[in-house]
Structure 1
């Protein structure tokens, strides 16, 4: 049972730092329990870092999240890198980012090998059936907690609602929503400043309850200060780390080998994946199946299902693509060796750019916290993010509680609605039970995930007569 927030990991008033070893344990826990795609992972980090451990304040967490949502690539992993960097500088960000990905990469690697060797396994589907219900409770909790703290005025509530409608019903890409929210916030801040919460000119007293905010306020935090020299150095190091494996693969295997092609193709994908994993999966599936012939039709869906059963960003499905493609087209290499190299190459070029974006951009984003002229824009963007997280929660709810969904046109809108006859009663009941357990009885996340997965797996096996 999770202890109340004021009893668990309550930081002493004079404490200004967290040991690297303790941070290591927490990042490992987040990496192991990070199921449910970006909504579940952001909710998990909010629960662990803001609510329970008081490592980072709500305002700074949302400020970092706003920036990460603007970037291409996995926003949840980038958020972990950002917070790790705030806590322990560059090495803190590296460790947080690696541990966020590593557990899922290892598990998905094993599942990919089982897939090419034996086909899909029913036990995986059974376990994930229960996990989805627990993650739904985490996502709903995050929407409620973040919304309560971010939507402080009626105007911001309207912004959040409008963002939800246009991303859910009009399928407007998230970067455009952010741009629109920022411009709207600037105009409102100029003409109707009373519609927005008061600007924060210094660190609020309430934020001083949190370790990162106290640490940055009481120490010479030079790493959060913009520096052209440091930015250039970080760019050079990250770019070299990014492209060195590709160069070695081309030198060793040639430009036509699948491992080298994967390095080049997924490097391109890494810088255009705005809007999350689902925004790029159709493009990757088209190229991997139709153009390159790496996968067979339908295998991309199988890979997505496997990625959903593992912790870590959903974009990990690209590792499955890299594994299967190299296994099927090994060239002169042993198929398993080629598959491991392909998976490692794909994972490397997918996630290394995230470190570049954070280490170069985060100091400038931190400087924006003290820029009063941008307060209105950032407040509106924060509200829009709440609407987007709500959209993810709705999407996850529909795909958890119903077997079939239909696209229904309604004027200019295209709504994804459930087929009511396809409701999955076991999933709906289990999701409701996990929400009660977490929201009412404050059951810990680990116990909730374990209990929900076991109960859900038992139900799945009985339902399917296995």
Structure 2
């Protein structure tokens, strides 16, 4: 294997083993590994990748791995990075699916997950600070970021917020560059306008097409994934809602993308073959979207008007990460144990040069000891 491909595989397999906490945390870990340590990309370009990736369907953090792999080792790097990142979650989820179908219950991993969540907050905060310094280039972009943050906290769909920020920011900066008039300085404000399982067999082709469809149109969080899968599987009688809830739970507490839920469901419906086709179906659109999108990003950077669009989308993406951080903190920091772990993670992240992966590991074991002892 080419040395660059081997490096890509190693880096993203490692990240795939420890990527807990959702897309914002995954991207924060990538920023540390790809930008800080290895310097594969500039932070500006990494930010452009984040902004554009948020505009396409699919698991954004997984698509970011594909972009980074593409930049490091070409088209082959795109596929190697994506597969390496997805593989650990898929393998772990398949194993858990086997145990679930055989024994009808999930393993007790809550104490470890309890410790990971507050540790992830510090990692996300660090990435927001670094990316924010690059994204905030003017007062107008600060205003756009604040408005997107407010919109996100009020529940506005993140894709709508990003597109609105991009289009309105692009129009504003274009008009400003043409007229130099103070009239348009108000334009950014327009932005505000456990169970024994009965396996229901289904053909592998049908299963593949169901998950291909979901992967091609999915935007948003695990809750959106739940809604899509509920419509595609539960209403058709292929899965009970209780089984779907367990599958989503597996996707939430295993590392990597929550879409590894597809592996679990595929196994429930058609064994290991089902796990393979469901996983392939839901992730295949992401590989194709990134393959088509990546070559256009340098051209977008060179276009003056599209540069305005990217700058506005980038600051909006950082604002959405900040909103995610706020919501996660509100939901996580409710007991003294989680606050202690968060403070420890802040010290490790901001006062030492320890890897984000070790911060995750230390957080997990801290959670286990604090919960089991106290």
Please indicate the TM-score interval, normalised by the length of the shorter structure: 0.7 to 0.9
Q: C-alpha displacement at 1:153, in angstroms?
A: 1.6
Alignment partner of 1:388 is 2:320 = yes
- The verdict on how the C-alpha distance between 1:31 and 1:268 changes in structure 2, with shifts beyond 3 A counting, is same
Shift of residue 18, structure 1, vs aligned partner:
7.2
Tell me by how many angstroms 1:356 deviates: 0.8
The answer to whether the 8 Å contact 1:131/1:449 transfers is yes
Structure 1 residue 31 and structure 2 residue 6: aligned? Answer: no
Cα gap change, 1:122 to 1:83, in 2 (>3 Å) = closer
Name the CA distance, whole Å, in 2 between partners of 1:399 and 1:102: 29
Which residue of 262, 272, 290 corresponds with 1:318?
Answer: 262
CA offset at residue 56 of structure 1?
0.4
Identify which of 157, 169, 176 aligns with 1:185: 169
Report the Cα offset of residue 118 of structure 1.
2.5
- Please show how residues 232-243 of structure 1 align to structure 2 within 5 Å: none
Q: Paired residue for 1:349?
A: 281
Give the 5 Å matches for 1:353-432: 353-401=285-333, 423-432=334-343
Equivalent residue, structure 1, for 2:345: 434
Name which of structure 1's ranges 81-90 and 273-282 shifts more when overlaid on structure 2: 273-282
**Which has the higher Rg, Structure 1 or Structure 2?**
1
Map 1:442-453 → 2, pairs under 5 A: 442-453=353-364
Q: Which residue of 1 aligns with 2:227?
A: 282
Q: Contact 2:118 / 2:332 at 8 angstroms: preserved in 1?
A: yes
Q: Distance in 2 between matches of 1:369 and 1:390?
A: 25
Structure-2 separation of matches of 1:138 and 1:120: 32
Paired residue for 1:53? 38
Does residue 172 of the first structure (1) align with residue 104 of the second (2)? no
Partner of 1:339: 271
Are 1:323 and 1:342, in contact at CA under 8 Å, matched by a contact in 2?
A: yes
Unaligned runs of 5+ in 1: 1-16, 196-255, 327-337, 402-422
Q: CA deviation at 1:296?
A: 2.7
Match of 2:237 in 1: 293
Indicate the residue corresponding to 1:457 in structure 2: 368
Q: Deviations over 1:124-170 (max 9, x none)?
A: 2222111222222211111121112211222111111111111221x
- Report how far residue 122 of structure 1 moved: 5.0
Aligned match for 2:206, one of 255, 261, 278: 261
Give the equivalent residue in structure 2 for 1:250. none
Q: List runs of 5+ in structure 2 lacking aligned partners.
A: 182-200
- Quick check: 1:73–1:276 contact (8 Å CA) kept in 2? no
Higher share of residues assigned helix = 2
How much has 1:75 moved relative to structure 2?
0.9
| Distance in 2 of aligned mates of 1:340 and 1:87 | 33
Shift of 1:258: 4.3
- Aligned equivalents of 1:115, 1:257: Cα separation in 2: 19
Shift of 1:46: 0.8
Mapping of residues 215-234 of structure 1, within 5 Å: none
Cα drift, residue 93 of structure 1: 0.7
Aligned to 1:304: 248
Distance verdict in 2 for CA 1:21–1:280, change over 3 Å: closer
For residues 119 and 426 of structure 1, the distance between their equivalents in structure 2, rounded to whole angstroms, comes to 31
Partner Cα separation in structure 1 for residue 99 and residue 371 of structure 2? 21
SS in 1 for 2:331: helix
Secondary structure of the residue aligned to 2:302 is: coil
Secondary structure of residue in 2 paired with 1:19: helix
The alignment's C-alpha RMSD in Å is 2.1
Contact 1:137-1:438 at 8 Å conserved across structures: yes
Match of 2:135 in 1: 150
Deviations 1:275-310 (A, max 9, x none): 244323223124422x12233333333222222222
SS class of match (2:241)? coil
For residue 273 of structure 1, report the CA deviation from its aligned partner. Answer: 0.5
TM norm structure 1: 0.71
